[in-house]
Amino acid sequence: MQLDQYCPPRLRATVVCLSACAALAIAGCGATGTGAGSVQRKVSTVSVTPAMVSLALAATEQFVATATYSDGSSSDVTSTATWSSSNPAIATINSAGLATSVAVGSTSITASLNSANALTTLNVGASPGCSGSSYGYNNGNGEITGVGLQSPSPGQNPSHVQVNATAYGPATIAQWTVCLDGQSVYQTNSAATSISQQIDIPAGQHLLWASAADATGDSDRSEIHLIQIGTPPPSSTVLPTPPTDAQVLTEMQNDTANWSICSLCAAGTSTTSNYAMTFDQSQPSLSGSSLEMYADGPSWSNVLFMDTMLGTSSNSHFLWNFWVYHDPAAEAHFWSSEFDLWQVLSGNKFMIGSQCDFGDGYWSTWDS
């Protein structure tokens, strides 16, 4: 530049200053790197995973925040994001994104970075798979149509077992729980439709099942397996001899006045109205007079056929002997065929049961 040939000294100093400022501005123009032409990378969005989490009480969940930038790149910003819970009385979250459940309820978890933020919902409730009168059944929306427990098999097992379970239905799974004797021994917040987890079981007899829950807290559980670890207690297959004053009920299948059918009360995943009973059938029958029970409907429909013995009884021991024939053409559509005896004493219900699990391929018995 040749301004110095036409300007007084004061003007020359001003021009030099302006030139210097312009040079500094150009050299430091919003760059993340060095050198001419660098472009500043800005945060476009922030996302949080996992989404729609369900936690049991006193449980933790690690959230992850990911930033996407204006140049299309992304990075983990969990440690630099600002975390907050909309309701710390339900769940708290620390600066590293680790949430801890405090009370039953729901809260929003938010991660913020610069002017971008994202949130997800955290639902807190008692572990759905291991407690309550329904022992894991809380399928209010019917979106989890069933849970199958493939292993371990009922009966004698080693102390270190592999639990394999699968959930069925349109619901997106949010949480899995493996329960042993009513206590959670494994829990994970996962959207997987199946789990495979090793657990250790102490010696003795135990009840094992798996439960799956969706993000709304609705859950369903598998059948309960009786697991024996170590040498089983002695048992006998010899039927006891009833006392001489025992009350004997015969031909109960022909007690037409007290038989009834119900699908809703069977507490299945699905209900049906397509069922019937036909009395006094000569074939197939061992006694020459059998009761035919028919049920049909959507998948996972349950139907309960009941013979109610009304009145007050002081009987406390029961011995039953029955014969059941399943239509071979229909067995491919069965999951289980269950036979129970219920007694109500002082408002408490007691039950003994026996069940053929066609779906899992074994026969089980229980009392409760």
Q: Which CATH number fits domain 43-124: 2.60.40.1080, 3.40.50.300, 2.70.210.12, 3.60.20.10?
A: 2.60.40.1080
Q: Is 271 helix (H, G, I), strand (E, B) or coil?
A: coil
289: which residues sit within 8 A by CB, 6+ positions away? 251, 253, 254, 280, 281, 282
The token pair at 246 is: 């025992």
Domain 146-229, second-level architecture? Sandwich (2.60)
- Domain coordinates of the chain in residue numbers? 43-124, 146-229, 252-367
| Contact status, residue 320 vs residue 326, Cβ threshold 8 Å | no
Domains 43-124 and 146-229 in one fold: yes
Cβ atoms of 68 and 74 closer than 8 Å: yes
Residue 244 has a CB neighbour count (10 Å cut-off) of 5
At residue 73, the 3 state secondary structure works out as: coil
| DSSP sequence for 156-202 | EE-SEEEEEEEEESSSPEEEEEEEETTEEEEEE----SEEEEEEE--
What length is written for the chain?
A: 368
Smallest CA-to-CA distance from 55 within 175, 195, 212, 222 is with 175
Q: What pLDDT was estimated at residue 131? A: 59
> Which amino acid makes up residue 103?
A
pLDDT band, residue 11 (cuts 50/70/90): very low
The arithmetic mean of pLDDT across residues 167-171, rounded, is 85
Mind listing the pLDDT tens digit for each residue in 253-306?
Answer: 888 888 999 988 887 778 899 999 999 999 888 888 999 999 998 888 889 999
pTM > 0.75: no
In the chain, the amino acid numbered 164 is N
For 98, residues 6+ apart whose C-beta sits below 8 A from its C-beta are 60, 61, 62, 63
Quick: pLDDT tens for 95-128. 999 999 887 678 999 999 998 999 898 877 655 5
